């Protein structure tokens, strides 16, 4: 389930947005710009709904800060504000926002805009050429994986499976979904084969193996920021 971060100090709008998005998204809420930036960096939401009038630092400054952070630079931002003047809208887009919706808003329009922006972001991410996380580097074009500057050999199937995980972060992927997207729907492969390949990938990832989490009874999930990451030497392939 995609995560939406709402940065708005108006309790009524917080409740309204949560009610509108309930069931489709996991909604996180921040009352201030500073707490919003911190939550965005910690949880890496799929999209941010951002008010302008926030008190200590306004929404424009928050947008500027988010676009300047590596973790949130590509996160779609929709300004959600009662301001209707052209200057505010232009400033928002100039700062890198993806959309601007005026309050009060229609619930269905808000949800439609959110769906479009998340879909556009996912399309852009699909074209990602290189993924980097500290000393882990994945070159999608060259089909190569590097840990601490050393290339780690991956078979073509292992690389395809790893790429599928990386391009679907924070999503629980069932074995059936993995089979259909990596092996193909017409190929007969058992769940045990999937598990075996994932064990092999985790072993090769060494200190980064916890990026791929096993979700009991459901499948696997790629976590871009695992809590038990250790800076150690990679395990032998």
CATH of the domain at 145: 1.10.10.10
Residues 6+ apart with CB under 8 A from 22: none
pLDDT at 185: 59
pTM over 0.75: no
Six token digits for residue 197: 């390949």
Residue 228 counted as domain residue: no
Claim to verify: residue 112 and residue 146 sit in the same structural domain: no
Pair (7, 115) in one structural domain: yes
Residue 234 exposed, middle or buried by CB count within 10 Å (0-12, 13-18, 19+):
buried
Number of domains in the chain: 2
Residues 115 and 153 in one domain: no
- As a whole number, the mean pLDDT across the chain is 87
pLDDT band at 180 (very low <50, low <70, confident <90, very high): confident
Q: How many CB atoms lie within 10 A of CB 121?
A: 17
Identify whether 192 is part of a domain: yes
Q: Is the dihedral of CA 210, 225, 138, 198 positive or negative?
A: positive
In a domain, 231, yes or no: no
pLDDT band at 129 (very low <50, low <70, confident <90, very high): confident
């Amino acid at each position: 389930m995609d995560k939406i971060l709402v940065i708005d100090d108006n309790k009524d709008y917080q409740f309204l947005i949560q009610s509108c998005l309930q069931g489709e998204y996991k909604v996180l809420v921040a009352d201030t710009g500073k707490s919003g930036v911190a939550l965005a960096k910690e949880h890496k939401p799929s999209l941010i709904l951002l008010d302008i009038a926030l008190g200590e630092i306004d929404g424009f400054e928050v947008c500027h800060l988010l676009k300047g952070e590596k973790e949130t630079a590509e996160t779609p931002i929709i300004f959600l504000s009662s301001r209707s003047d052209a200057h505010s809208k232009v400033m928002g887009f100039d700062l890198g926002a993806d959309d601007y919706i005026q309050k009060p808003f229609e619930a269905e329009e808000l949800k439609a805009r959110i769906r479009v922006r998340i879909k556009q972001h996912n399309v852009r991410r699909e074209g990602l050429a290189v993924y980097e996380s500290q000393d882990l580097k994945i070159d999608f074009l060259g089909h190569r994986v590097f840990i601490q500057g050393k290339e780690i050999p991956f078979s073509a199937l292992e690389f395809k499976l790893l790429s599928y995980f990386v391009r679907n972060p924070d999503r629980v992927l069932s074995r059936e979904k993995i089979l259909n997207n990596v092996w193909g729907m017409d190929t007969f492969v058992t769940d045990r084969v999937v598990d075996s390949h994932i064990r092999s990938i985790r072993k090769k990832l060494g200190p980064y193996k916890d990026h791929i989490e096993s979700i009991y009874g459901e499948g696997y999930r790629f976590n871009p920021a695992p809590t038990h990451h250790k800076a150690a030497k990679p395990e032998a392939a």
